[in-house]
Amino acid sequence: MTKDGPSDPAPMTYARYLALDTLLGSQHPQSDLDDEMLFIIIHQTKELWLKQMIRELRLAMEQVAADALVPAYKALARVSRIQAVMTLSWDVLATMTPSDYTRFRHVLGPSSGFQSDQFRTVEYMLGLKDGKFLRFQNDRPEAQAAMERALAAPGLWDLAIAAAARAGLPIPDHVLARNFSQAYVADPAVEAAFLEVYRDTQRYWDLYQLAEKLVDLDDAMATWRHKHVLTVERVIGGKPGTGGTAGASYLHSTLGKRAFPELWSLRTSL
């Protein structure tokens, strides 16, 4: 205390601002092996980046819904850069050899990255809807609720299609009023509408640039998935993954996923 009242608060420090004691105390290996610490830090870092991706996607989606397409470019570009950083992190994990991983793999039990609620939320926000992943969060109601909200809401592609309709492009009512909790199915009319955007870029410049930012996201996601498969095959080969997943064979089945399918198919017609 001072004669004028309580002491001034301590000045902010780097460690307090970043909550470093909490952050650096959040790694709890179940073995004494150095490679397990790497495994934990790689995955925790990915979850932090996913948290930022969700924030940026939420902002971009709000802007697209309000027809503020140009301001949305910044958040979308940031997401694609984050995706690139996450992809590069697989190279760090690949320094762990199969023998290294085998020594501690048993401590993971049934846990698996397949269960990441934030990754599924990102997929839902992009428009890749699949409600079967909700069950993995039965013990985490807040995470499950966030997934449910993203599942039920329009995805980024739904919002972009609606923006195209407001710009005067012919989008069928059944596309605009679809059940957003279901997987999106590519529609020839949507492809035709965006083909017009690509054929008359001067008239539809904002939509054209938005479309290319969306292709960047899809491209980065496909690259991330491909590098994930290679890393898994390098470390465990064709063995099943933890948590009862099929491992590399399941990951191979995801390589063809596209959140914005018409933006890929229209290129053949240009």
pLDDT tens by residue, 158-214 = 999 999 999 999 999 999 999 999 999 999 999 999 999 999 999 999 999 999 999
The 3-state DSSP class for residue 77 equals helix
Residues 45-55 pLDDT 10s: 999 999 999 99
Q: What is the rounded average pLDDT of the residues 4-8?
A: 63
Q: Is the pLDDT of residue 130 over 60?
A: yes
At residue 238, the pLDDT reads: 78
- pLDDT for the residue 57: 98
Q: What is the pLDDT of residue 153?
A: 98
Q: Which tops the pLDDT comparison, 229 or 162?
A: 162
**Quick one: 189 exposed, middle or buried, by C-beta within 10 A (0-12, 13-18, 19+)?**
middle
Instruction: Check residues 70 and 228 and name the one with the higher pLDDT.
Output: 70
> Does 4 score more than 70 pLDDT?
no
DSSP class of residue 195 equals H
E strand or H helix at 143: helix 141-152
Q: What share of the chain is helix, strand, coil (3-state, %, to 5)?
A: 70, 0, 30
226-246: average pLDDT: 81
Average pLDDT over residues 264-270: 96
- Sign for the CA dihedral angle at 123, 26, 55, 215 comes to negative
**The pLDDT of residue 248:** 79
Per-residue pLDDT tens over the stretch 20-66? 999 999 999 999 999 999 999 999 999 999 999 999 999 999 999 99
Cα–Cα distance measured from residue 270 to residue 267, given in angstroms and rounded to the nearest whole number: 5
